[in-house]
Chains A and B, each alone.
Chain A
Amino acid sequence: MKIVTANRLSDGRVIYADASGDPVGALDQAGRFDGDAADLALSQAALRPATFVNPYLVEVDGGRPSGRDRFKELIRSQGPTVGNSLERP
């Protein structure tokens, strides 16, 4: 399965396309697509450049990124592992 992700144009935050192609902030709300449906979802995101910057597909397995870039995608979905400020987790 694949999901569509990008950064949001206005503030650069990580977004995903949900099942109907709308932007959502959380990975678990991302629509999961198979085969051609994934390519279609990607091209639909690309048609909304005012929201989705540089959209691409990410492989997921059981709702977690699973491809070669799985770790990077996990960090994208959860934020820096060192916390968002000097306050450490």
Chain B
Amino acid sequence: MYRYDEFDTAVVRERIEEFRDQVSRRVSGGLTEDEFKPLRLMNGVYLQLHAYMLRVAVPYGTMNSGQMRRLARIARVYDKGYGHFTTRTNIQYNWPALSDVPAILSELAEVEMHAIQTSGNCIRNVTTDVFAGCADDEIEDPRPWCEILRQWSTIHPEFSFLPRKFKIAVIAAPKDRAAMRTHDVGLQLIRGEDGETAFRVFVGGGQGRIPHIAQEIAPAVPGRDLLAYLTAILRAWNLLGRRDNIHKARIKILVASLGIDAFREEVERHFATLRREDLRVPDEEVARIRAYFAPPPFADLPRTSGAFDRASLADPDFARFARNNVRRHRQPGYATLIISLKPQGGVPGDITADQMDLVADLAERFSFDEVRAAYEQNLVLPHVRLDDTPEIWRRLAEAGLATPNADLVTDIIACPGLDYCSLANARSIPVAQALSEQLADLDYQERLGPIRVNMSGCINACGHHHVGHIGVLGVDRKGEEYYQITVGGSADEQAALGEIVGRSLAADEVAPAVGRALDRYLEVRREGETFLQTVRRLGADPFRDAIYGAFNAVA
């Protein structure tokens, strides 16, 4: 894992002192709210419905046990004993006092964490494949490149006042486990013709009001030129992007209006004028950062584990957990284990301080001191011995963290919605909870197979509804909560936007309607076909009929 050098430490410390001063000037009346707002946002502090909210960055989703314990402590001491993991693999605290934020940031700095650039019109926390360093289809670990991007983009003078926020995701396998093509820039690590690391670059993806899937702008940018190429992209957008209209400011709008070819020419024009030598990451620096992400000292183990096999045979609950939440690791005898933060009827992404402490203990003891945050709002123990999985499962189960539903229909992504968020039109959490309760039968969930239901409380789409296999978007109809349903979205390597299937539904109609769509899928699917494959084969019509047929029959 990356460790701060003196430069990182100094930057973070200076930033805290600067913010401490800004907070005290705000409290003493020296700064108005209008003056203070952009300053607090650049430090991750929002003002939501009930309180301030602090968003803490978890760079590319990787944490050690000390960091997780510190997150738990902050939840306990400064908040109400819990935190919320987001779709940008960050953690949000819903109740911190403004006057406590400098102290919280100091506590975070002690464990090499911060909240810089988790908001505002800048380059946000870079996300990546949660199975980085574990998956056997990976070309190389993408996280050193994420760290290089983090260092390059942190307090970057040219890119601190962009037209809007800017999000980057990096993957290093043909399979996209990071929703890469929903990002402003998506990077797919490949092997260049010279055998060196290169990147397939996608640009102009994004969700929100006007969703777009990112398009390929360059087939193979050499790793050494990555920062120069990204600088050219950002510069082109920074100069041409719309600053007059917040809804048209994202790079996706510029790319769509110019067309990808014209935008590429624009980028190449800038690329040609850049002093590329200055932006080249020195080979020694790449090697230095890569060393932090070297594989942990795995033991030489047999491919199979007697303990795992015996527990699977003896205990059907463990067997179910193993089927759904334990994933193959490229190192024989090891596995990657998903900790679902979607208990039946729970709040997606929420975790208590005690649970965080337990996860930290398990990471320290069983997973080379490492735990990851997944954009699906779950946690992952990346490198556990198969032999240890029964014990880990038992301890997770005692803490209510062993829900065996990873990637199943109740593994719902949901934003905080109108229960917390000042921008919301409607609540997301209670709708997710109702669906989770209705579909609680795990046999049924396993029969359905992998299905991703995503919910957002407004068109900003923090809950990724456009790319949910089933998407649910909260809308406001004359002060009442209604929900628009989409079908057929996908965030993977065949990324697609869902199709709106009909008029929006009242809150209590959503879960039954989704249930009818799922039953229809079981009726019409072919042997071995996933929900998404069935939608791709048949289109949205059968699901539209299932969702609205009940109403039409009554009408």
Contact = CB atoms under 8 A, between A and B. Distances in A.
B99 A10 contact: yes
B388 interface: no
B248 to A, nearest CB: 26
Interface residues of A, number: 27
A81 B346 CA distance: 13
Interface in B58-103: 80-82, 95, 97-99
Contacts of A62: none
Contacts of B345: 88
B48 interface: yes
B129 interface: no
25 contacts: A9-B26, A10-B27, A10-B98, A12-B50, A13-B50, A49-B33, A50-B27, A53-B33, A54-B33, A54-B47, A68-B479, A70-B479, A71-B418, A71-B481, A72-B49, A75-B419, A76-B49, A81-B419, A81-B429, A82-B347, A84-B80, A84-B95, A85-B352, A86-B352, A88-B346
A11 interface: yes
B350 interface: yes
B392 to A, nearest CB: 21
Nearest to A65: B479
Given A9-B98, A10-B98, A14-B50, A82 B33 contact: no
Nearest to B429: A82
Interface string B10-44: 00000000000000001111001100000000000
B33 A76 contact: no
A72 B33 CA distance: 22
A82 B415 CA distance: 13
B474 to A, nearest CB: 11
Contacts of A69: 479
Interface in B93-117: 95, 97-99
A11 B99 CA distance: 7
Interface string A1-12: 000000101111
Contact of B51 (A11, A67, A72, A81): A11
A1 B47 CA distance: 27
Q: Please name the 7 residue pairs, one residue from A and one from B, whose CB atoms are nearest each other, closest first.
A: A11-B97, A80-B419, A12-B52, A12-B51, A82-B429, A68-B479, A85-B82
B538 to A, nearest CB: 35
B2 interface: no
B82 A86 contact: yes
Contact of B47 (A7, A71, A86): A7
Interface residues on B, range: 35 or more
Nearest to A7: B47
Contacts of A88: 345-346, 433
B420 interface: yes
Interface of A: 7, 9-14, 49-50, 53-54, 67-72, 75-76, 79-82, 84-86, 88
A34 to B, nearest CB: 22
B332 interface: no
Nearest to A70: B479
Interface string B172-186: 000000000000000
Nearest to B345: A88
B309 to A, nearest CB: 34
A70 B478 CA distance: 10
A10 to B, nearest CB: 5
B443 interface: no
Contacts of B52: 11-12
B250 interface: no
B480 interface: yes
B124 interface: no
B465 interface: no
A2 B350 CA distance: 36
B427 interface: yes
Contacts of A7: 47, 51
Contacts of B82: 85-86
Contact of B420 (A54, A80, A85): A80
B175 to A, nearest CB: 32
A72 B418 contact: yes
A86 B350 contact: yes
A73 B95 CA distance: 18
B98 A14 contact: no
B430 interface: yes
A88 B350 CA distance: 12
A85 B27 contact: no
Contact of B430 (A71, A72, A81): A81
Given A9-B98, A11-B52, A53 B47 contact: yes
Contacts of B427: 75, 81
Interface in B318-352: 345-347, 350-352
A85 B352 CA distance: 8
Contacts of A79: 50
B419 A11 contact: no
Contacts of B420: 80
B352 A9 contact: no
A67 to B, nearest CB: 8
Contacts of A84: 80, 95
Interface string B410-444: 00000000111000100101100100000000000
